Amino acid sequence: MKHYSSVGKNVKRYDAEEKVKGTSVFTDDLNFPGTLYAGVYRSPESCGRIKKINTVKAAKIPGVRAVMTAKDIPGRNIVPVVFDDQPLLAEKYVRYHREPLAIVAADDRNTLKKALKAIECDIEETEGVFTIRESLKKKRIVNGLYKDNIFQQYVVEKGDVKKAFAGAFLTVKNSYSTNYQEHAYLEPQSMLVKPELNGIFSVFGSMQCPFYVQDAVSAVLGIGLANVSVHLMSTGGGFGGKEDVPSIVAAVAALLSHRTGRPVKYILDRDEDISVMSKRHPSYIEYESAFSKNGKLLGVRTDYYLDAGAYSTLSPIVLWRGVIHAVGPYECPAVSIKGYAVATNKVPCGAYRGFGTPQIIFASETQMDIAAEKLGIDPVRIRELNAFKKGSETATGQVLKESIGIRKTIDAAVSRCDIGKTRSEIASFNKKQRYKKRGLGISCLFYGVGLGARGGPLQKGGAFVSVFKDGTVQFSVGTAEMGQGMYTVLGQIVSESFGINPSAVLPQRVSTEKVGDSGPTVASRATFISGNALLIACDKIKSSLLSFMLSEKMIRKASDVKFEKGYVYTGGKKKIPFTELSSKAWAGRVKMAEYGWYLPQGTSFDIRTGRGDAYVVYSYATNIAIVEVDMLTYRTKVLKLISAEEFGKVVNPLLAEGQIQGGNAQGIGWSLYENMVVKNGKILTDDFSTYLIPSILDIGQIEPVIVEEPYKGGPWGAKGMGEMPLMGIAPSIGNAIYDATGTRLKKVPFTPEDICNGHKSK
Amino acid sequence: MKKGFVHEINFTVNGIKRALSVHSNETLLKVLREHYGLTGAKEGCGGGECGACTVLLNGSPVNSCLVLAVEADNAHILTIEGIAAKDSIHPIQQAFIEYGAVQCGFCTPGMIMTAYALLQKNPDPDEAQIKRALSGNLCRCTGYVQIIEAVKAAAKRMKGKRG
Amino acid sequence: MKIAIRTDNLDDLLKAKAKYGDKALILAGGTDVNVKRNRGLIGPEVIISISGITDMKGIVPEKGKLVIGSLSTHSDIENDAAVKRRAFPLHMSCAAIGSPQIRNTGTLGGNIGTASPAGDTLPSLVLLDSIINVMSIRGTRKIKAAKFFTGPGKTVLEKDEIIYSVEVPLGYTSSNSGFFKLGMRDALAISVLSVAWYFDKNGTVGLSFGGVSPVVKRILVKQGLSETAFRKKVSGIISPIDDIRAGAGFRRGVVTDIAFKVYRDGGI
C-alpha cells in the first residue's frame, strides 16, 4: 500500500483562521462606494394571468434608482438551466406563489422596502395544481410547453419482471411519500454585481456554480460570456441550494447594475429565501419488491413521482439520479423503474444533497425491512445477502469492477454498534419502560460519483497549477468551496504530488477568470474531478522538471526520481530540497505553470431502455440508527447514529467526518423535524421558528466510521462523499421507530402526530 | 425622556469607548456591521432564531438583530473581533480550527461568542451545559459534534492556563 | 413609525402611554416586537422603549410572595434562587423559553403583554394565582393572572396602562409542582402545548394548560378521581385548534395523557 505524507492527514483548513476570527468575507460583508440594494416584487398569487403591474408610484419614491419588469430586460428573459423554460421575471402568467414580477434598486434598505410596497399588480387568479395526483389528472396544465404536466420521464428495464414476480415467494407492495426539504444554509442567497470598464460586469457572490451564474448574467444582459467575470466569495453553505438558483439572484442584481451603472447588492431575507429558492422535491412512490424464500431480491417494480413545481429547472437530472439508484446497492435480476417529474403550481424544486435519491432510498430500504420481517430474516442479513460484490450488475446493467465497499460498510457499522449487545440492551430497556421505547434500524445505499452519463457536456474539469521559484505552489480550480473543505482537500492532493508540505500550497479564490468552464460543484464531484485535473497539471510540471534535471545531469534516468517530504530524490539517497529545485528550474526557464483538464471516461445511458454504465464509479454507506420514542408526546429522539461510509481513499479524515456528521444531522432534520407546510401553493413555514432545523440539543451521538477501498481512477484513490451521509438516514430512523413502537411509517418526516395516529390505530 | 428618531448613545465596543448618533430603527447588528465595519456578526434570519448575529452585551450573549442600537446605550459590547488581540488567537478560536468545528463559517463567530460567554461564567462545563449554552446558535454544516469537542478542548486549555 | 420615545423614567412612560394610548407599542426586550418589525409585519405609530426603567426590574421577596419587575428577563428569573426553590413552575417556564440569547433579552412583562396562547410563562403565572400589577397615570390595579388574558394577543389592559410587576405566591417546589412544555425541537421552539401543576397539602391538584385554548385554562381537582372522570374534566375546558405545528386532535390527546400522568404519578 502506498505511503502518503499529506493525503490521509488532518491538514488544517486553509480558511479556518479567517472564519474563526470573523474576517472571512461573505458577500454581504463586501462594500463598494455607491452600492444600491436590490429587491424583488413577487406575485401574491400561485396561479393566474398578469393583467397589469404598476410600478409608477414606486419609481417616483426618492432614492429609488431603478424599477424594471420583464419588458425592460435587454437580453433573454430566462433562467438558463436544462430546458430554459423559466422566465426570470414573469410576463404573462404567474405559475407559483411569489414568482418574481418586478425588480427594484434603491439607495438603502428602507427605501427599497417602501418601493416594493408601492408596486401593485392585477392578476386574474386561476385555479392552480398543487399535488402530484391533481397534476397527473391533466385537467389543468401548469405550463403550455408540457401538455401532460410532465417535465421528464425515464424508464429503466431489465430482465423479465413479470416472471420474477410470478415466481416469487414473497412480494411486498407499498406507497411512500416524502415532504420538501429546505436547505437552510445559514447564509441567505447573496450576490453583488459591479460594472467595470469596457462593458464588463463583475459578479461577487455565494454560489456553487460560478459558470452557471456567468451563463445567466450573460443571457439576461445580452452580452458575451467574456463580459461576465464571476468571483466566489466565502459561501455560507450550499447543499444544492446554491446550485442553480444563485443564477436568479445574480441576474436580478446584474439587470439593475446594468440599468443604473452602479454596484448592486441583492441579499435575500430569510422568509423570501425559504419561500422562493429551490428545495428537495416532495415525492410519491409506489414500490413493489419480489423475494425468494431465502431472501434474495428477485425483482423491483416502482413508479417514482417528483413534485417538481412550476418550472423544470434541475428536475430532469434530479429524477435521473433517483431512477438509477432506485433498487439500492443490491443485485436484482429484474427491474422496471419508471420516473416522472411532474409540474405543479408551486416553487420550483431542485438540487438538495442526495439529488433525488433520499426519497427513493427511503422507499427501497423500508421495503427491505418489511420483507426481512416477513421472511424471518435479520435485517442486516438480508442486506448482506443481496449486496453488490465484484462483478455484480446494477439496475442499468453496469458491471461493477472495483472499489465496491458496501459489504465492508455493513461489517463496520454492525461491529461499531456491537449490534447483538445493543439489541439486548434495547429489549431490556423496553421491558422496563412504559413511556419510552427504543429501537434500532439499518439502511444501506450506494451513490454514483459525479454527474454521470446524463451530465453530458458538463462532465469535465479544469485546474491551473503554478510552482514559484521559492517552491511554493498556487492552484486554481473551477469547482467551488462552500464550506465543505474543498480548498484543503485539493491542496493536500497537490502537495502529495510534489511531496511537499500542504502549507506551501495555496488555493486561489475560485473565479471564472482562472480556469475554463468546469461544470458545477455538485454530485460529490469536486474532489474527484478537480483533484484529477490538478494531478494532470502537476504531472505536466513534474515532467518538465524531470527533463530539466536530465538535461542538467542532476539525474541519470527519470524513474530514479521521487518527490517526498519536501525533497526530490534523484537516485538512491541523493536528494535536493524541492525549494532548491524550483529555484534552479526557474533560473533554467522551465515552464512551471500548467493547466490540467480532466474528462471522466466511459459513461453511457440509453434513454429508451435505461441501460448503460451510468456513472464511472460508486461510493457506499451503511447507517444504523438507535432511537427513543416518547410514548406520551410521540416525539422521537435519535440517541445514536452510526454511519459507515466508503468513498475510496480518504484525503482528510477530520473534514470527512465533518461531512458525515453534518449530512447525518440534515438527515435527522428531514426525518424528524423539518415539516414544510404548504397551503394552496403558499409556504406557511417561512422562517426558522416554523421550519425547524435541528439545534444542538436535537442531535444525539453521531459516530462516523470511515472505510477505505481505494479507487484507481480517483486522485490518490479518492471517490466522492459529500451527499451520502444524508441519503439513507430517513429509512434507518423509520426502521428504528418501527422496531421501537411497531408503527410502520411511510411518510417523511415522521411527525409525532403520525406516530401517535399509527400507535392509536393499532 | 428622549423623543425623536436620532439618539445619542455612548457605549463601549471591544474595549473602546464610542459615542454615536443612531436612528431609533437601527439594530445593534446594523450599527456594528455598517458603522464600525465589524462584520463578524452575521444576519442569518433577522428573527433571533439562528444566533449568527450573537454578540455579548454586558457579558451576556444576545441576538444583535433583535437589540436596537439605542438599547446599547451605556453598555459594554464584545464582538468576535474583540476577543483576541490583532495578531493572536483566542483558545476557543484555536480549538475550533483544530477540531474541525468550522465548515462554511457563517455561524462560527456567533457560536464562538456564545461559547466565550459560557466559559467566562463556567470554566468547567459538562457536555449537557455546553449544549444548553449553545442551543441558540444553529449550524447547518457540522452536525455540532466537532463544535462540542472544540468547546470542551478550549475549556480544558483555558483552565490549564489559569493554573 | 412616526414617533420614537426612549425613557428611563416611569412617570414619563405613564404620561406617554396616556397620551398615545393604543397607538403606542411598548418595547421591552424586543424579542417579539423586533422580530415583527424586522419582517415588516407591524408598523406602530409610536414606539416607547422602556428597557432603561430600573424601577421595573428586580425580583424582591415580600411576605409569602415574590414581586418580579416586569422588565426582569427570563434569564434573571430562571437564575433566581428563590424562584427556583419556591416558585418552581415559573423557573421551569423561563428555562424553556427560546434560547439563551432570547432569555437574556426577553422579559416577563413582554411575555405577558404579547399574550400568545403559546407564551411559556403564562401557564405558570395562571396556575400560581399570580397578580399582575398594572399602572397608569390614573393609578394602579391588581389583576389576577387568570382574569388578565382574554384571547390570543388580548388582555384586559386599558390603553393607557402598562404592566409594572408581577406578584408570584411562594411555596411551590420541585417536589410538589412542575411545568412541562412540548415543542417540536429541544431549543428555539414555540410551545405546541404545555402543562403546569402543583399538589397542595389538602389533596388538591392544580393544573393549567397552555397552547390548547385561546387563553390558558386552569382546573383545581381533588386527588382520587377516576381516570375517566379526570380526563373528562381536562377535555371539557380545553379547545385546541389545528395550526402549522400540530393538529387539534393530537393536542387534545397528548395534553390529556400528560395531565393524567402528572395527576396519577405526581409528575412527569
List, in order of start, the domains of chain B with CATH numbers: 6-82 (3.10.20.30), 91-162 (1.10.150.120)
Using DSSP's 3-state secondary structure scheme, residue A156 falls into: strand
What is the DSSP-derived secondary structure letter of residue B68? B
pLDDT digits (tens, 9 = 90+) for A281-290: 999 999 999 9
Q: Do C49 and B68 make contact, defined as CB atoms within 8 angstroms?
A: yes
- Is the predicted pLDDT of residue A82 greater than 80, yes or no? yes
Q: Does A691 touch chain B (CB under 8 A)?
A: no
> What's the average model confidence in pLDDT over A229-244?
98
Best probe of the A interface among B88, B94, B103, B108, by most A CBs < 10 A, is B103
User: Residue A293 — very low, low, confident or very high, per pLDDT cuts 50/70/90?
Assistant: very high
CA–CA distance, A687 with A671 (Å, rounded to integer): 19
Comparing C-alpha atoms, which of B8, B109, C89 is closest to residue A22?
B109
Is A310 in contact with A142 (CB distance < 8 Å)? yes
User: Residue B87 — very low, low, confident or very high, per pLDDT cuts 50/70/90?
Assistant: confident
Angle value at C-alpha A402, between A400 and A408, nearest 5 degrees: 100
- In 10 A of CB C224, how many CB atoms? 10
Q: Does A503 touch chain B (CB under 8 A)?
A: no
Cβ-based contacts of B41 with chain A (< 8 Å): 22
- Is the predicted pLDDT of residue B4 greater than 80, yes or no? no
Is C137 in contact with C14 (CB distance < 8 Å)? yes
ipTM of the complex: 0.98
Q: Do B44 and A697 make contact, defined as CB atoms within 8 angstroms?
A: no
Domains in chain A, please, with CATH? 16-23+460-598 (3.30.365.10), 31-126+189-267 (3.90.1170.50), 283-452+606-760 (3.30.365.10)
Per-residue pLDDT of chain C (268 residues), as tens digits, is 678 888 999 999 999 999 999 999 999 999 998 898 888 888 888 999 999 999 999 999 999 999 999 999 999 999 999 999 999 999 999 999 999 999 999 999 999 999 999 999 999 999 999 999 999 999 999 999 999 999 999 999 999 999 999 999 999 999 999 999 999 999 999 999 999 999 999 999 999 999 999 999 999 999 999 999 999 999 999 999 999 999 999 999 999 999 999 999 999 9
Q: Does A195 touch chain B (CB under 8 A)?
A: no
CA–CA distance, A484 with C209 (Å, rounded to integer): 45
Residues 6+ away with beta carbon under 8 Å from A659: A484, A485, A721, A722, A725
Q: Do B105 and A693 make contact, defined as CB atoms within 8 angstroms?
A: no
Q: Do A633 and C182 make contact, defined as CB atoms within 8 angstroms?
A: yes
Is A363 in contact with A679 (CB distance < 8 Å)? no
CA–CA distance, C106 with B66 (Å, rounded to integer): 10
Q: Do A697 and C190 make contact, defined as CB atoms within 8 angstroms?
A: no
Residue B157 Cα, gap to closest chain A Cα (Å)? 17
Q: First CA to last CA across chain B, in angstroms?
A: 49
pLDDT digits (tens, 9 = 90+) for A586-615: 999 999 999 999 999 999 999 999 999 999
Q: Do B1 and C16 make contact, defined as CB atoms within 8 angstroms?
A: yes
pLDDT at A1: 55
Is the Cα torsion angle A134, A137, A141, A144 positive or negative in sign? positive
Domains in chain C, please, with CATH? 178-265 (3.30.390.50)
Three cell numbers at A674?
A: 423539518
Instruction: Kindly state the greatest CA–CA separation across chain C.
Output: 59
Three cell numbers at B85?
A: 488581540
The residue behind cell 477505505 is A708
The chain C residue lying nearest B111, using CA atoms, is: C101
pLDDT at A2: 72
The chain A residue lying nearest C258, using CA atoms, is: A632
**Among A residues 15-54, those touching chain C with beta carbons less than 8 Å apart:** none
The residue behind cell 454596484 is A263
- Is the predicted pLDDT of residue A170 greater than 60, yes or no? yes
Angle value at C-alpha C183, between A361 and A679, nearest 5 degrees: 60
- Is the predicted pLDDT of residue A253 greater than 90, yes or no? yes
pLDDT at B3: 76
Q: Do B136 and C187 make contact, defined as CB atoms within 8 angstroms?
A: yes
Average confidence score pLDDT of chain B: 95
The two beta strands, B54-57 and A201-205, are unpaired
Q: Does B65 touch chain C (CB under 8 A)?
A: yes
Helix or strand (DSSP H, E) at A308? strand A297-309
The two beta strands, B2-3 and C3-6, are antiparallel
CA–CA distance, A693 with A698 (Å, rounded to integer): 9
Phi/psi for A148 (5° steps) reads -105, 15
> What's the average model confidence in pLDDT over A505-510?
97
CA–CA distance, A331 with A7 (Å, rounded to integer): 33
| Residues forming beta bridges with residue A284, ordered by sequence position | A177, A305
Q: Do B62 and C99 make contact, defined as CB atoms within 8 angstroms?
A: no
Best probe of the A interface among C34, C39, C41, C185, by most A CBs < 10 A, is C185
Best probe of the B interface among C76, C78, C101, C102, by most B CBs < 10 A, is C101
Query: What is the 3 state secondary structure string of A597-613?
Result: EECCCCCCCECCCCECC
Q: Does A756 touch chain C (CB under 8 A)?
A: yes
The chain C residue lying nearest B129, using CA atoms, is: C100
Q: Does C258 touch chain B (CB under 8 A)?
A: no
User: Residue B162 — very low, low, confident or very high, per pLDDT cuts 50/70/90?
Assistant: low
The residue behind cell 470554566 is B123
Q: Do B135 and C186 make contact, defined as CB atoms within 8 angstroms?
A: yes
pLDDT at C3: 80
| Residues forming beta bridges with residue C59, ordered by sequence position | C68
Cβ-based contacts of B121 with chain C (< 8 Å): none
pLDDT at B130: 98
pLDDT at C38: 87
Residue A354 Cα, gap to closest chain B Cα (Å)? 15
- Is the predicted pLDDT of residue B67 greater than 90, yes or no? yes
**Does the bond joining C123 to the residue before it have cis omega, within 30 degrees of 0?**
no
pLDDT at A3: 85
Q: Do A756 and C268 make contact, defined as CB atoms within 8 angstroms?
A: no
| Residues forming beta bridges with residue A466, ordered by sequence position | A474, A593
A7: left (phi over 0), alpha (psi -120 to 50) or beta: beta
Chain C contact partners (≥3 CB pairs within 8 A): A, B
In the A/B pair of chains, how many CB contacts fall below 8 A? 168
Looking at chain B, the whole-number percentage of residues with pLDDT higher than 90 is 89
The two beta strands, C3-6 and A283-291, are unpaired
Best probe of the B interface among A20, A31, A206, by most B CBs < 10 A, is A20
> What's the average model confidence in pLDDT over B6-18?
95
Picking from C244, C250, C253, the nearest residue to A677 by CB comes out as C244
Q: Does A411 touch chain C (CB under 8 A)?
A: no
Chain B contact partners (≥3 CB pairs within 8 A): A, C
pLDDT at A494: 98
Three cell numbers at C262?
A: 402528572
CA–CA distance, A223 with A258 (Å, rounded to integer): 11
Is A754 in contact with A745 (CB distance < 8 Å)? yes
How does DSSP assign C50-98, residue by residue? -TT-GGG--EEEETTEEEEETT-BHHHHHT-HHHHHHBHHHHHHHHTSS
CA–CA distance, C37 with A386 (Å, rounded to integer): 57
pLDDT digits (tens, 9 = 90+) for A735-759: 999 999 999 999 999 999 999 999 9
Residue B44 Cα, gap to closest chain C Cα (Å)? 13
What is the number of residues in chain C? 268
Residue B146 Cα, gap to closest chain A Cα (Å)? 7
What one-letter code names the amino acid at A5? S
Cβ-based contacts of A18 with chain B (< 8 Å): 105
